[in-house]
Amino acid sequence: MKRCGAVMGIFVLGWLTSACGGGDKAVADFAYEVRCGQTSGCFGLGARQFRAKDGQDDLSISCEVNELNDDSWLLEFSVQSAEYGLRVRDLAVPKAGGAPTGTSCRVTVRENTDNLYEGPCGASIQPCSLTGVSFSSGGVQGNLVCTGIPSVVDQTQVRDITATGSGNQGTPFQFRFTSCAGL
């Protein structure tokens, strides 16, 4: 009888964990392109597309939402591979969604392992702008564009982060994450 109770306890704990969303891996669905913008003699780094779950296709994907106060969430999300990645951290957004608030938001883009571009983000280009951020059951989505985000090593080397495609220079890309921790 003791063994049956232990097995039943493990089964119930496993069921509660999965039913309450625990253990779900974050899922990312978006594409962006790293462009040279107005930089002459520069070669664009190309498009990146993510439609995967954390651990799939050798990707590390995270999305975490924490309560900042009664009215706002603090959001951080990241997608990283061995060679490239994108991270948004310290993004304060009203719980009802909309434009970011606060001044601590940062976007980091990593290309070809050691090229890092980083800059502040907010509701207007500075150099990165986030708009239309909204929250749903376990997920978050919004739009992001960066114009002239500087290299960490050489501030004169800048890139644009936009929607993919030849006609989309300067156009924000839409990001979507599901199974975010904290939602």
Q: What is the largest CA-CA distance in the chain?
A: 76
The answer to whether position 39 is within a domain reads yes
| Other beta carbons within 10 Å of 32 | 25
CA angle 62, 174, 156 (to 5 degrees): 85
Q: What is the pLDDT of residues 19-77, one digit of tens each?
A: 344 468 999 999 999 988 766 667 667 789 999 999 999 999 999 999 999 999 999 99
Residue 36: the pLDDT is 84
Give the confidence band of 95 by pLDDT, cuts at 50, 70, 90. very high
pLDDT digits (tens, 9 = 90+) for 120-148: 999 886 899 999 999 998 899 999 999 99
Spell 72-94 as b/e; 16+ CB within 10 A means b. bbbbbbbbebeebbbbbbbbbbe
Query: Is residue 17 pLDDT above 60, yes or no?
Result: no
- Tell me if 16 is assigned to some domain: no
Residue 183 lies in a domain: no
Residue 12, in any domain of the structure: no
With bands split at pLDDT 50, 70 and 90, how would you rate the model's confidence at 169? Answer: confident
The arithmetic mean of pLDDT across residues 151-171, rounded, is 88
Residue with tokens 């039913």: 19
On whether residue 121 sits in a domain, the answer given is yes
- The pLDDT assigned to 56 comes to 95
Residues 96-118: what's their mean pLDDT?
90
- Counting the structural domains of the chain, the total is 1
Confirm whether 11 is domain-assigned.
Answer: no
pLDDT at 40: 62
- Which amino acid makes up residue 71? D
Residue 4 lies in a domain: no
What is residue 18's predicted lDDT score, i.e. its pLDDT?
Answer: 34
- Note whether residue 14 is domain-resident: no
Q: Is pLDDT of 115 > 90? A: no
* pLDDT confidence tier of residue 181, bands split at 50, 70 and 90: very high
Q: Give me the residue label for tokens 């779900």.
A: 24
Say whether pLDDT at 4 is over 80. no
| pLDDT score, position 39 | 64
Query: Which residue range forms the structural domain that includes residue 117?
Result: 24-178
